[in-house]
Amino acid sequence: MIRTYRYRLYPTEAQARALDFLLWQGRTLYNAALEQRITVYRETGQGVSYPQQWAYFRDLRHANPETLGQLNATSVQQLLRRLDKAFRAFFSRLRAGETPGFPRFKGRDRFHSLEYRHGDGCKLRFDPRNRTLFYIQNVGEIKVKYHRPVPDEAEIRHVVIKRRAHRWYVCLMLALPDPVVPLHTGPVVGIDMGLVHLLALSDGSTVENPRWLRHSLAQLRVAQRRLARRQKGSARRRKAAAQVARLHERVTNQRRDFWHKLTRQLAETYSLIALEDLTLAFLTTNHHLALSAHDAGLAEFQQLLAYKAEEAGTQVVTVNPAYTSQACSECGMVVRKDLSVRVHVCPNCGLTLDRDVNAARNILKLGVYPARTGPPERNVAGCGARALGSSPF
């Protein structure tokens, strides 16, 4: 089992300058390697391989100890591999008859991270007062907000140092032993990732964004409108853009925190969770909807839920979302309604229900029937009949 733990770094001013310098050197090297590939191809018609580039840039690194030489050797290898991968993807898409974009030179705003192997130019350390520090070669020991400890049995495989909106983070990719999970005996649930609600559950309850997140989202929207009004290239626009980036970062972090807790709660409560298949949802809904779904970062929600479910022994199934919002979850009749209609009212059986909850009940049905191969004792239909608001959310 591979997990990523992310921690905020608090570099001193000098350390932040050193980190910025490393990132700059990383970007310079990446662009130089890209240029080398282009030039060699123009002059000889030949490609350049990763080993050839490594041999060249290894020497260049030794010859320039004050600049490229500040980069860790393994980081340089990772950068060259990143470029190699971009080229391979480019050519394989070309061969497949597609029209891929050529690998791009990285501008200042498009290069945010450096990769390391743990113990090679970087290391998690604890000082004598048991404070947590993250050591980076040519930068020093940086203060870490160590909000959750790396488990003793974890092996740190891979490290990514990232800058996001002037903040620094370290991501540790951990290899953990697969958990031994007990058989989950909780109820089953269908979840609609809503239009009206953030989530609607088939038991009739709904989940909304918490107030503090809604507040940040509103602030972000205001800042985005301000940015749109500013003149391109002006100092005021740059300032507005920095503010949007900062708020964006805050929303992302708040949402991630909220979803960590929510997905854990869901996985601990339910033994089976049925969801819409998002890739299909993007295809079947209109453009506007697909965008808003994307905006809510629902793919991230599903990914987090999959992690928590794996740890809790919960089964997650995805279903084709076609008709889940239109069909009546009681009698199956298709009741057409456009996006503005928030309540499902069935002219056939009289069912009256929040449209998203109706969708969640359909999702549950679709998710449960193919999965039901075991003995029929577990009363699946009974779940949808639970009283409104009886869920722990």
Comparison of 241 and 345: residue with beta carbon closer to Zn ion: 345
> 43 an active-site residue?
no
Give the shortest CB-352-to-Zn ion separation in angstroms.
Answer: 10
Using CA atoms, how far residue 118 sits from 3, 16, 22, 153, in Å, is 15, 20, 17, 15
The torsion defined by the Cα of 242, 247, 248 and 250, in degrees rounded to 10, comes to 130
Regarding 348 and contact with Zn ion (CB under 5 A), the answer is: yes
Regarding 277 and contact with Zn ion (CB under 5 A), the answer is: no
Comparison of 303 and 348: residue with beta carbon closer to Zn ion: 348
Backbone angles phi, psi at 290, to 5 degrees: -60, -40
Q: Which stretch binds Zn ion (CB under 5 A): 124-132, 176-184, 214-222, 331-339?
A: 331-339
**Amino acid identity, position 264:** R
Comparison of 268 and 330: residue with beta carbon closer to Zn ion: 330
Using CA atoms, how far residue 332 sits from 129, 336, 348, 373, in Å, is 64, 12, 9, 23
Regarding 320 and contact with Zn ion (CB under 5 A), the answer is: no
Q: Which stretch binds Zn ion (CB under 5 A): 153-161, 164-172, 322-330, 376-384?
A: 322-330
The residue from 192, 203, 257, 295 that is catalytic is 192
Regarding 328 and contact with Zn ion (CB under 5 A), the answer is: yes
The residue from 115, 203, 276, 354 that is catalytic is 276
CA distance 224 to 244: 6
Taking the alpha carbons of 50, 55, 58, 59 in that order, is the dihedral positive or negative? negative
Regarding 346 and contact with Zn ion (CB under 5 A), the answer is: yes
CB-based contacts of 298, cutoff 8 Å, min separation 6: 193, 278
> 356 an active-site residue?
yes
Regarding 330 and contact with Zn ion (CB under 5 A), the answer is: yes
CB-based contacts of 343, cutoff 8 Å, min separation 6: 352, 353, 354, 355
Regarding 349 and contact with Zn ion (CB under 5 A), the answer is: yes
Interface with Zn ion (CB under 5 A), residue total 8
CA distance 199 to 214: 15
Comparison of 351 and 380: residue with beta carbon closer to Zn ion: 351
Question: Which one of 175, 218, 331, 339 is in contact with Zn ion (CB under 5 A)?
Answer: 331
> 354 an active-site residue?
no
CB-based contacts of 3, cutoff 8 Å, min separation 6: 154, 173, 174, 176, 307
Comparison of 38 and 341: residue with beta carbon closer to Zn ion: 341
CA distance 198 to 208: 5
Give the shortest CB-269-to-Zn ion separation in angstroms.
Answer: 28
Chain positions contacting Zn ion, by CB under 5 A: 328, 330-331, 333, 346, 348-349, 351
Residues designated as active site: 192, 276, 356
